[in-house]
């Protein structure tokens, strides 16, 4: 299943990329096709709006959402989760996708 990883980035060291990278590796090993937003890097002059547009395109292209710990505190992750619900996509914690 093609899964998009959603979780907190803003205000965290290295934008929480290490957690996204680890989740992508675990999900890939479990046989999922992973869309990791950290693959887009950081520092684009378009800032948050630019990256949220990329995230929306990824959500449209996935079959489910894998939530990282702390997603509840992230405005972007909440929007991604809500978008997935509207699209009828399954939304689970990363650990539920792995079990």
Give the separation between CA 78 and CA 76, rounded to whole angstroms. Answer: 5
Are residues 64 and 97 in contact, defined by beta-carbon separation less than 8 angstroms? yes
Give me the CATH number covering residue 83: 3.40.50.10400
Helix (H, G, I), strand (E, B) or coil at 69: coil
- Tokens 């995230």 -> residue: 55
Is 8 in contact with 73 (CB distance < 8 Å)?
A: yes
Q: 47-60 and 75-87 are packed helices; what angle lies between their axes, rounded to 10 degrees? A: 30
Q: Residue 71: its pLDDT value, please? A: 95
User: Would you state the structure tokens that stand for residue 56, as one six-digit string?
Assistant: 């929306």
pLDDT at 49: 81
pTM here is 0.91
Determine the pLDDT at residue 43.
59
* Residue 34, pLDDT score: 97
SS3 45: coil
Count of structural domains, the chain: 1
| Domain span including residue 64 | 2-98
Mean pLDDT by 10 residues, the chain (99 residues): 94 90 97 91 68 90 97 94 97 96
């Amino acid at each position: 299943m093609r899964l998009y990883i959603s979780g907190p980035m803003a205000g965290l060291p290295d934008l929480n990329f290490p957690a996204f990278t680890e989740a992508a590796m675990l999900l890939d090993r479990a046989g999922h096709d992973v869309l990791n937003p950290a693959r887009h890097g950081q520092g684009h002059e378009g800032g948050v709006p630019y990256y949220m547009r990329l995230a929306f395109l990824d959500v449209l292209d996935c079959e489910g959402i894998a939530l990282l710990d702390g997603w509840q505190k992230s405005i972007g992750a909440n929007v991604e989760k809500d978008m997935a619900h509207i699209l009828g996509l399954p939304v689970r914690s990363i650990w539920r996708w792995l079990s």
